[in-house]
Amino acid sequence: MKLQVIGDPVLHSKSPVIHGAMLGALGLDVSYTPQVVRRGELPDYLRWARENGVTGFNATMPHKEDLLPLLDWLDGDAALCGAVNTVCLRGGKWIGFNTDGGGAQAALEGAGLWPARNVALLGAGGAAKAVAFRLAQAGAERVWVCNRTAERAEALCGQYRCQALAPAGFDPATLRRLAAQSQLLVNCTSLGMAGCGRQFEDFSFLDALPQGAGVFDLIYHPAQTELLAQAERRGLPTLNGLPMLVNQAVLALEHFLDRPLDRKAMAEAAASALRGEEA
């Protein structure tokens, strides 16, 4: 049994540490390694993985949506949100799952940032789909999906027929207006990620957030993005993407092993390994 995480970039990923710790706690001698797979290389990767004994993998940017037409079957959450982050080879068929939404909700609950009535969510890619859908499903009255390309935001919201989801722009004026009405702001874009080379042009929308509103950045490398640093300077509670990564990894490992796990014990094993890395 071999497991991997694929993406571009991906060598910075903490997933091997997290999964290695959980597999070790279970007493399983299973490898979990990062593999750079660039956009357009997925068909070749799937052939290679099958031939080389890879029985499951996690997928990060830019593959969460591109995988969809290449898989044999999609689990409920993956089909609903139109994005995949966990893939298992079962009976010779590639099966796609999505654990991002569940991981995000668990992370927010653990940080005391959920529930929230209104959410300003930035981005409309694979992770944004999973998180937006889950937060709407979990009771948010309004989730504004803010994206530079209006058509992508509209497509995401139209996909679910959910009244809580509403498309919006990404211009400073729109972000300030929606932030003023939100108890939670979630960044699902790659802006600020190490190696991305792109950054928010304007952070003034943070000034519009109500006192006590949370700022959640799905990025965990660096541990504190400029968005989170700016939010912290304004006295806002912040959360980076590491707790979400841990929680979605626990759910992913259940799919890889095809059995339920003690989720609390697995999360504690992963968190302990991450603390050891930082020491």
| Enzyme catalytic residues | 64
Phi (first) and psi of residue 206, to 5 degrees: -65, -30
SS (H, E, C) the chain: CEEEEEECCCCCCCHHHHHHHHHHHCCCCCEEEEEECCCCCHHHHHHHHHHCCEEEEEECCCCCCCCHHHCCEECHHHHHHCCCCEEEEECCEEEEECCHHHHHHHHHHHCCCCCCCEEEEECCCHHHHHHHHHHHHCCCCEEEEECCCHHHHHHHHHHHCCCCEEEECCCHHHHHHHHCCCCEEEECCCCCCCCCCCCCCCCCHHHHCCCCCEEEECCCCCCCCHHHHHHHHCCCCEECCHHHHHHHHHHHHHHHHCCCCCHHHHHHHHHHHHHHHHC
CA dihedral 79, 110, 181, 190 (to 10 degrees): -60
Q: Supply angle C-alpha 107, 74, 110, rounded to 5.
A: 5
Nearest alpha carbon to residue 7 among 196, 227, 244: 196
Alpha-carbon distance of 22 to 255, in angstroms, equals 13
